Amino acid sequence: MEEDGALLGAIARGSKAAFQSFYERHAGRLLGYVLRVTRDRSLAEDVVQEVFTAIWQKASSYQAEQGTPLAWMYRIARNKLVDRWRRGPPGVAWASEAERPVLALVQADPELSMSLERALEGLSPEQRQAVELAVLGGYTHEEAATELSVPLGTLKSRIRMALRHMRALLTE
């Protein structure tokens, strides 16, 4: 992964060869990820093109403190997907609103007296991770379960428990 950092440095200095190496290392997995979100090959290829164009333009802003080059690329890709989603259909297929329990949570309690932040602090580390990824982070439940290396059922029950706990705190 050190190699990725060095490649980004060279891209920032305008090296097409470094850009091509970075592409060859990561285009396949980026396409794999974007395809899973969009379920549309030509759209996914467009997004991959946008992401790499952004990498070319932004490489000089990459800072190691902000995570690995792959995490940085993930953030760029996620933003491109979100921007398309905001522009509305036809576009990216997202999990349904019903799968976003925070929506119900927030709508049920418009006058929340306690910050979400403090409510999150009251969770166990496992619950907090689950909520950060799947509820706040917009990961699908499957992605979050893969990420946390837990079975899907376990993830869902953690989220359920966490939301019950947060709701209790938020409506005290």
Partner 1 sequence: MMPVNHPPSERLLAYATGAADVPLRLLLETHLSFCPACSREVGRLTAPGGTLLEAVPEEPVPAGLFERIWAEASRHEPPRPVEGVPLPASVLAELPPAEAWRWHPVPGSGSRTARLVREAPGGCGLFLVQMKPGARFPRHAHRGGEEGMVLAGGVWDRGRFLEVGDWDSAPAGSSHELRADEKEGCWALIREECEDVKLTGWRGVLQRAASLLSH
- What is the token pair recorded at 128? 């907090």
Q: For residue 36, state whether it binds partner 1 (rule: CB under 8 A).
A: yes
Interface characters, 79-118, with partner 1 (x: CB under 8 A): x-xxx-xx-x--------x--x-xx--xx----x-xxxx-
Among positions 128, 132, 150, 161, the unique one binding partner 1 when judged by CB under 8 A? 132
Least distance to partner 1 from the beta carbon of 167, Å?
13
Q: Cα separation of 84 and 163, whole Å? A: 29
DSSP for 29-58, written as a single string: HHHHHHHHHH--HHHHHHHHHHHHHHHHHH
Q: For residue 39, state whether it binds partner 1 (rule: CB under 8 A).
A: no
The dihedrals phi and psi of 20, each to the nearest 5 degrees, come to -65, -40
Q: Cα separation of 3 and 1, whole Å? A: 5
3-state DSSP assignment of residue 127? helix
Q: Cα separation of 165 and 66, whole Å? A: 31
Among positions 5, 10, 40, 56, the unique one binding partner 1 when judged by CB under 8 A? 56
Which residues of the chain form contacts with partner 1 (CB under 8 A)? 12, 14, 16, 19-20, 23-24, 26-33, 35-36, 45, 48-49, 52-54, 56-61, 63, 65-75, 78-79, 81-83, 85-86, 88, 97, 100, 102-103, 106-107, 112, 114-117, 132-133, 136-139, 143, 146-147
